[in-house]
Amino acid sequence: MGKILAVTNQKGGVGKTTSCINLAASLAATKRRVLLVDMDPQGNATTGSGVNKHELEKSVYHVLMGHCGIRGAIQSPEKSGYDILPGNADTTAAEVELMSMEDKETRLRDALADVADRYDFILIDCPPSLNMLTLNALAAAEGVIIPMQCEYYALEGLTALMETITGIRQTINPKLHIEGLLRTMYDPRIGLTNEVSRQLISHFGEQVYRTVIPRNVRLAEAPSHGLPVLNYDKNSRGAIAYLALAGEVVRRHDGKVKGLNSERKTAS
Q: Let me know: does 86 contact 46? Beta carbons within 8 Å.
A: yes
Q: Let me know: does 69 contact 164? Beta carbons within 8 Å.
A: no
Position 53, amino acid: K
Tell me: pLDDT of 258 over 80: no
How would you class 139 by CB atoms within 10 Å of its CB: exposed for 0-12, middle for 13-18, buried for 19 or more? buried
The Cα–Cα gap between 204 and 123 comes to: 22
- On average, the pLDDT of the chain sits at 92
- Any alpha helices (H) in 74-208, and if so which ranges? 90-98, 107-112, 132-140, 152-171, 191-204
Number of domains in the chain: 1
> CATH number, domain at 238?
3.40.50.300
What is the per-residue pLDDT across 162-212, written as a single tens digit (0 to 9) for each?
Answer: 898 999 999 999 999 999 999 999 988 888 889 989 999 998 999 999 999
Residue 49 domain boundaries:
3-267
